[in-house]
């Protein structure tokens, strides 16, 4: 039976990120010279270098359109050995207003979700099921419990602190969002239920969903053709893997009085464990192929992302043994994310 799941939304957002919680940050050159946040463009004997930092002014307002699309396929006993195709498009518009920049360069934004739309489709064995959510249309889909969180975000501003290097430090002043969730349930939630809401929609929630709308930059200055690498660890389906993000400055130019930096990105994986085993169950990653590319256009002068487009493909064949019964799962995933400044 075809069925939608809010979990699919969450798994999709995990997969799209090209901005990682970094364990290593290594330049592929011997020059690791640091510059202060105010020295954005530095000239020395080796040429022109740029310190990649967010340095907007108080009062600046940035409006973004964020589009995330995914297409997944699976053929396994879980899908009754029939190909299951799932697609999902999420689009949201968000406004970020700079309210403070402190002495160390940390930026405080007032953030507001203006609208959210979600289009989901599931197909299997000649049957299709689709669902379209739009925060601007209060229909039967809007009223579903699965979308209470999204509804609560609309036009309820909160604050967010971001480091000069693009890392979200915290989100706070979330009370209006929490209250909107309570109201959606007719103010019938118990004190315990309200605490659960607060624990779920917290600072980490917004760091998780919004970090990809920023770009985390290295601590050293860069020049054209500079390359650096970020690595971290995550699960590729069930299998532990090292994610390797390689960035290269492909262009630096002046456009309409602003310095614009273009950064190309490539995503790769190193599988750390190809076999996992639990009581009565084992799985082996028999085949895997992953690719990922991205392009980030950053306005140094204004301190904002102009455009960030990333794509990722993954194809896997997994051998399983469940209580002595052998089976195979063939999976593929395509993900695209586009973050576009619209003002």
pLDDT score recorded for residue 238: 87
Residue 68: per-residue pLDDT: 96
pLDDT, tens digit, 9 for 90 and up, residues 38-77: 346 677 776 778 899 999 999 999 999 999 999 999 999 8
At residue 231, the pLDDT reads 93
What pLDDT is attached to residue 38?
Answer: 36
Q: Residue 136: its pLDDT value, please?
A: 96
Rounded Cα distance, 41 and 322, in Å:
59
The number of C-alpha atoms within 13 Å of 300 and in the hemisphere containing its C-beta is: 24
* Helix, strand, coil in percent for the chain, rounding step 5: 15, 55, 30
pLDDT given for residue 33 in this prediction: 33
Predicted confidence at residue 27, as pLDDT, reads 54
Residues of the chain with pLDDT under 70: 1-41, 46
Q: Got the DSSP string for 87-151?
A: EEEEEEEEEEEEEEE-TT--EEEEEEEEEEEEEEEEEETTEEEEEEEETT--STTTTSGGGHHHH
């Amino acid at each position: 039976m075809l069925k939608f799941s809010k979990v699919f939304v969450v798994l999709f957002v995990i997969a799209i990120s090209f901005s990682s919680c970094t364990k290593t940050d290594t330049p592929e050159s011997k020059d690791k010279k640091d510059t202060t946040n105010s020295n954005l463009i530095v000239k020395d004997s080796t040429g022109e270098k740029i310190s990649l930092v967010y340095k907007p002014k108080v009062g600046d307002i940035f409006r973004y359109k964020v589009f995330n699309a995914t297409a997944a396929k699976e053929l396994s006993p879980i899908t009754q050995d029939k190909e299951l195709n799932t697609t999902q498009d999420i689009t949201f518009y968000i406004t970020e207003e700079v309210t403070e920049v402190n002495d160390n360069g940390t930026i405080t934004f007032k953030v507001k979700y203006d609208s959210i739309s979600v289009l989901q489709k599931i197909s299997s064995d000649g049957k299709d099921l689709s669902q379209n959510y739009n925060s601007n249309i209060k229909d039967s889909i809007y009223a579903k419990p699965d979308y209470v969180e999204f509804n609560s975000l609309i036009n309820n501003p909160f604050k967010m602190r971001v480091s000069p290097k693009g890392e979200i430090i915290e989100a706070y002043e979330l009370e209006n969002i929490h209250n909107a969730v309570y109201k959606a349930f007719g103010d019938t939630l118990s004190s315990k239920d309200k605490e659960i809401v607060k624990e779920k929609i917290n600072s980490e929630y917004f760091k998780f969903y919004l970090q990809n709308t920023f770009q985390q930059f290295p601590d050293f200055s860069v020049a054209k053709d500079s390359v650096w690498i970020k690595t971290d660890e995550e699960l590729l389906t069930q299998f532990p893997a090292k994610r390797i993000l390689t960035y290269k400055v492909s262009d630096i130019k002046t456009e309409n009085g602003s310095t614009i930096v273009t950064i190309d990105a490539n995503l790769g994986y190193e599988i750390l464990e190809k076999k996992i085993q639990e009581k009565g169950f084992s799985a082996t990653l028999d085949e895997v192929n992953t690719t990922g590319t991205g392009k980030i256009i950053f306005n140094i002068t204004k301190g904002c992302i102009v455009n960030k487009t990333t794509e990722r493909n993954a194809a896997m064949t997994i051998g399983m043994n469940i209580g002595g019964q052998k089976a195979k799962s063939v999976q593929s995933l395509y993900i695209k994310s586009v973050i576009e400044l619209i003002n």
